[in-house]
Every structure is written in structure tokens, then in C-alpha cells.
Amino acid sequence: MKYRLLFLLGLAATLGACQPETDPLIGSWTVDKVNVQFDEQHNTPALVKQIGEMERLNTLSISADSTLVFKGLEETKKGKLSLRNDSTLFVDGKAFGIWKNGRIVTRTGSPLGEVVVTYRKE
């Protein structure tokens, strides 16, 4: 009886250890927050609002083979995603954003200022 119990416990532990680990990055992502950091002395509040609204339409999709698909208002980009030990995300070798507290955060700079977009998993 003891041996059966030990065998069943060992079998359960082995099967539990064989469960595939779910990658928290895999799935569909939508915009959670947009922070438009433009100099409002040189840009109108309407422009800042419009850019924020456009950024809210972005989506990300990450598949099990590490392919990231970014869909924005006027563009779609696809590439291989990798995550460094310092939580920096790269797409095709170029910095894309960071993985922080279960969110993906991207920063885009321009002559007008910077846009910080935080994505959450659907």
C-alpha cells in the first residue's frame, strides 16, 4: 500500500512537472495607457489629443514562435521578438520596448516630443 501511494505521488509530481510553461508574452495586446509628452507651447492641445487617440488603435499579437505583429493606424509590422535579461524587448534585433509588471511599454520619439504607450494583455 505504501509503495502504491509513493508511486502515485511520484507519478503526479512527474506529470505536473511536464506541463508546458505558458509564456506570459504570448497572446493579443491592446493599449492600456498613452502618454503624449509634447511641448504644448509648440503644439496645440488638439494635436496632442489626436495623436493619443491614434495611438490607442494600436494592437500587438505575439505567437508561440516569437513572432510579433504590430498593427497601427497606417502600418503593420511583423518580426521576431526576443527578451533580454534586463527586460528589454527586441524585434529583429532593434529595441522595441520593455516588459514591466506584466505590461509592454514602448517609447517613440519625434521632433515634436515622445509618446509612451503601455499595452496590456487581452
Tell me the domain boundaries of the chain.
22-121
List 36's β-bridge partners, or say none: 115
The more confident residue out of 74 and 62 is: 62
pLDDT number for residue 73: 86
Contacts of 1 (CB under 8 A, 6+ apart): none
Of the candidates 45, 57, 58, 35, the one whose C-alpha atom is nearest the C-alpha of residue 109 is 35
pLDDT at 15 over 60: no
Say which amino acid occupies 54.
M
Q: What is the model's pTM? A: 0.79
pLDDT number for residue 71: 97
**pLDDT class for 94, splitting at 50, 70, 90?**
very high
* Residue 83 contacts residue 89 (beta carbons within 8 Å): yes
What SS3 class is residue 36? strand
**Among 21-25, 53-57, 65-69, 105-109, which is the least confidently predicted range?**
21-25
Measured in whole angstroms, how far is the alpha carbon of residue 118 from the centre of its chain?
8
Please state, rounded to an integer, the average pLDDT across all residues of the chain.
86
Percent of the chain at pLDDT exceeding 70: 83
